[in-house]
Structure 1
């Protein structure tokens, strides 16, 4: 079967020369990895390694997914339409133009940004243009060898499980290959594909600027890096309009470049991605530095502390932003304002919400569930109640015009907050310490275990199955006395999801789940303690326990 698929690709008349060269160079092992399955489509769309084959991101897998999306739109809407955007990754523009052409070929109206634009601007465009759907070509913060394809619904959120299953069914009914690729230039000339105008871009900027809760004239010196991604233009434009920000750019990472030459893993969650920004911050004496990932939906930041820069975790940044919004919000809603976080995000949010009289809603991992809560408030005529949503993986949103995490929005909050604190003679770190003294020290650690290929997928499934065994069968006594929530099989009031949560003590918790977009198992460790040293010690003990469970050296996948 694998050999047959390989031969059909090798002999396809429409196969580009680049993919043909990759096919001809494959050994048997590579062939199996590239063809043993079709690249899976889910609520996160597609994501995979660039290359030839059914299990790789390429023109044919993108075309097949787009035909599935188009069939779903034609079945669901009377006059379907779609907005499309792309980031700086290798072949992102090619995949975006092919997506637009395939949809136009199916009779669906298409709007396309004429240049790379961030994920939040795609979500905004879907809503502003009243499109039936949106497609963002990106692999977010993955290494350069990846690309992906996110699909959005008419509400501006990533698609629901029901929609993903219908699209997958349409994808499965198609042949793998096509003899021809539709002409983007032809459909653009005919008007069936239209470029998104500057008016929509300006509307987005105005929407972001409307989210300011307290303006400050205090000068703030920052270093910014877009990590060679899509954030360069919109982030700098917002900073320019704030008026009090002096910006130094990391020139090596300023312009779009899908190879990410100075940052192989363009993820602002890790220090390696921030190294050039940190260096420039120390050289220039800037107050702080920050980075946005390639599709500009995540933001990571650090504060200069003498001769070093201290990076702020996603959890701590979310808490700082929530505190800033609470201290400066207008009390003009009859019902309590709503804060939304994911189940793997810090429990310190609960303490702040109790203090400020806010309603806290916990949702599954994935910002689409935060966007969904905004939609529910909107349906109930209570959209103004939404205050803030955040997740530990550096995603934040304080407005409702976008229904996904928005790093441009986050940059605005960060700079206004930092300038406000600077005016008081404080830094973000000073305020964080004040909050810890008031509410306690909540810390968290993310562990990631990679399981590549077919055998890796089997091993991940096996580990999750073992974690669902009776608690009294666990070797570790801490598990024997734990309480467990199985989000796949228990009635949690949330959508079914392959996630397990173990409360080991009143202060210690572990959540385990497979990644929805990468061949990885993720474990989230939570604790709170009286001191930072005690909290870190607790995390070390939790990590030793989880490392033993996820140890692949002594395991084999049957």
Structure 2
């Protein structure tokens, strides 16, 4: 029988539960991690947590049993936790590694396995590759009772949620925020951030803040098409001025303004650069993934801040943050890290920063976006995820690489980049990009125009050209 080779994608290993994502395969990954840690040093400690997905506790306990059997001390979160909670705990508890059982924003049938380094962010790409090489084809899955591991001291339960809440209370003035004239709505998308806002901002309007491993069948990705209820709530409730959404493991952000309009991650990155540099007088490099708007480069030129562009995957940004002074690091998908916090994406922390800015400046989210437009000009971005067979997906990418597409409808381009996917810089000042998903039969199609109508037209032209 052919053994399934386990590969980590842009952010961890993800697979369909009961198909490739099984107790046995999770144990294989845990055994590879144990071999890697024990090959580096003796006496290792690993923090393990899981989000709200189906089987989270079972897969977290499987990982714990395998690591304990290899002599590794395990600090296990009780109940669901967010990815930033685990990352922070690895740093604060001086652990050697963290494991989060999560498939982040993926559809309900998936679960996954993320690795977190001692710096409080994603494990570096080179180290993940080393772990992958050590994942065995076969493994003996230990069945030691968790109670036995607890009594031996090999495993301890840790309260990561309280640690994270205490940290946020040190970094934000919640007395001020709870008196804010701008009322906040929060959509947890049935994910692991649901307790945090409830406890810190008791007057917030809460959506989907209950434990539902099926997410009502909706992938917990904080993009406009998945958040229609939050949008309608914002538009229909005059006192609500900011709508915050986070994904399944609460490391990604989505925002809505007071009219129920989606504020995408490109805008959020620009808002955070503007806040930290202009309002807080902070400096540093800006690190962005290849799929982020070039308007970031325009703002950084205006503010004299250096910019670096990385392949897609937050692990590349986090690696830069551990080595250099970074002001903001961000991806198109809503994962953004900021100076003064851990080198990790954190949707709740980012949302609180913008809520804090609104409260202190007396400006609505729309007015703050206007501040950004004054520097970089107005723009509109959208993305299509085309579910197509892998063969078609691969042939489109091959065509793009071979220069088959001379133009897209009436949209001509002046240069092409291919750091990670193929990005066409259009003559109208916008851009479009084609990129194949590494984990699903999906082709991601990105577009930016000068208005909502133009962006929709670019997306339609791309589909006509490639399909």
| TM-score, length-scaled by structure 2 | 0.89
For the pair 1:509 / 2:428, whether they are aligned, the reply is: no
Sort the Cα spacing of 1:360 and 1:211 in 2 relative to 1 into closer, same or farther, 3 A.
Answer: farther
**CA distance in structure 1 between the partners assigned to 2:252 and 2:11 by the alignment:** 16
Instruction: State the Cα distance separating 1:269 from its structure 2 match.
Output: 0.9
**CA distance in structure 1 between the partners assigned to 2:164 and 2:252 by the alignment:** 21
Instruction: State the Cα distance separating 1:215 from its structure 2 match.
Output: 6.2
Pick which of 340-349 and 502-511 moved more. Answer: 502-511
Instruction: State the Cα distance separating 1:78 from its structure 2 match.
Output: 2.9
After superposition, the C-alpha distances for 1:405-456 in whole angstroms (9 at most, x for unaligned) are: 10121121121122234x3xx42112323432443123322222224xxxx3
Q: Secondary structure at the match of 1:510?
A: strand
**CA distance in structure 1 between the partners assigned to 2:61 and 2:352 by the alignment:** 31
For the pair 1:260 / 2:215, whether they are aligned, the reply is: yes
Instruction: State the Cα distance separating 1:268 from its structure 2 match.
Output: 1.7
Contact 2:53–2:213 (8 Å) recurs in 1:
yes
The residue aligned with 1:27 is: none
**CA distance in structure 2 between the partners assigned to 1:238 and 1:504 by the alignment:** 45
Which of the numbers 402, 414, 433 marks the counterpart of 2:354?
414
Alignment of structure 1 residues 269-308 onto 2, 5 Å = 269-276=223-230, 278-279=232-233, 282-283=236-237, 285-305=239-259
For the pair 1:65 / 2:2, whether they are aligned, the reply is: no
After superposition, the C-alpha distances for 1:61-86 in whole angstroms (9 at most, x for unaligned) are: 11111111111111123322211111
Contact 2:381–2:447 (8 Å) recurs in 1:
yes
**CA distance in structure 2 between the partners assigned to 1:130 and 1:482 by the alignment:** 50
The residue aligned with 2:415 is: 483
Instruction: State the Cα distance separating 1:107 from its structure 2 match.
Output: 0.9
Which of the numbers 177, 180, 205 marks the counterpart of 1:248?
205
Instruction: State the Cα distance separating 1:515 from its structure 2 match.
Output: 2.1
Instruction: State the Cα distance separating 1:475 from its structure 2 match.
Output: 5.3
| TM-score, length-scaled by structure 1 | 0.76
For the pair 1:174 / 2:155, whether they are aligned, the reply is: no
For the pair 1:223 / 2:185, whether they are aligned, the reply is: yes
The residue aligned with 1:524 is: 446
Larger Rg: 1
Sort the Cα spacing of 1:330 and 1:288 in 2 relative to 1 into closer, same or farther, 3 A.
Answer: closer
Instruction: State the Cα distance separating 1:509 from its structure 2 match.
Output: 2.5
Q: What is the root-mean-square deviation of aligned Cα atoms in Å?
A: 3.0
Consecutive unaligned residues in structure 1, runs of 5 or more:
6-36, 241-245, 378-384, 488-497, 552-558
The residue aligned with 2:102 is: 138
Contact 1:224–1:277 (8 Å) recurs in 2:
no
**CA distance in structure 2 between the partners assigned to 1:524 and 1:280 by the alignment:** 26
Sort the Cα spacing of 1:358 and 1:119 in 2 relative to 1 into closer, same or farther, 3 A.
Answer: same
Sort the Cα spacing of 1:548 and 1:338 in 2 relative to 1 into closer, same or farther, 3 A.
Answer: same
**CA distance in structure 1 between the partners assigned to 2:71 and 2:186 by the alignment:** 42
Q: Secondary structure at the match of 2:121?
A: coil
Sort the Cα spacing of 1:168 and 1:435 in 2 relative to 1 into closer, same or farther, 3 A.
Answer: closer
Sort the Cα spacing of 1:315 and 1:480 in 2 relative to 1 into closer, same or farther, 3 A.
Answer: closer
Aligned residues: 465
**CA distance in structure 1 between the partners assigned to 2:436 and 2:172 by the alignment:** 35
The residue aligned with 2:342 is: 402
After superposition, the C-alpha distances for 1:224-254 in whole angstroms (9 at most, x for unaligned) are: 22122211222333436xxxxx31223xx22
Instruction: State the Cα distance separating 1:150 from its structure 2 match.
Output: 0.8
Which of the numbers 312, 332, 339 marks the counterpart of 1:392?
332
Structure 1 consecutive aligned stretches of length 4 or more whose deviation exceeds 6 Å: 211-216, 477-481
**CA distance in structure 1 between the partners assigned to 2:223 and 2:163 by the alignment:** 29
**CA distance in structure 2 between the partners assigned to 1:190 and 1:283 by the alignment:** 54
**CA distance in structure 1 between the partners assigned to 2:174 and 2:280 by the alignment:** 7
Q: Secondary structure at the match of 2:445?
A: strand
Instruction: State the Cα distance separating 1:283 from its structure 2 match.
Output: 4.7
Contact 2:241–2:365 (8 Å) recurs in 1:
no
Which of the numbers 142, 160, 167 marks the counterpart of 1:206?
167
Sort the Cα spacing of 1:122 and 1:274 in 2 relative to 1 into closer, same or farther, 3 A.
Answer: farther
For the pair 1:546 / 2:462, whether they are aligned, the reply is: yes
**CA distance in structure 1 between the partners assigned to 2:173 and 2:219 by the alignment:** 32
Sort the Cα spacing of 1:143 and 1:500 in 2 relative to 1 into closer, same or farther, 3 A.
Answer: same
**CA distance in structure 2 between the partners assigned to 1:179 and 1:85 by the alignment:** 19
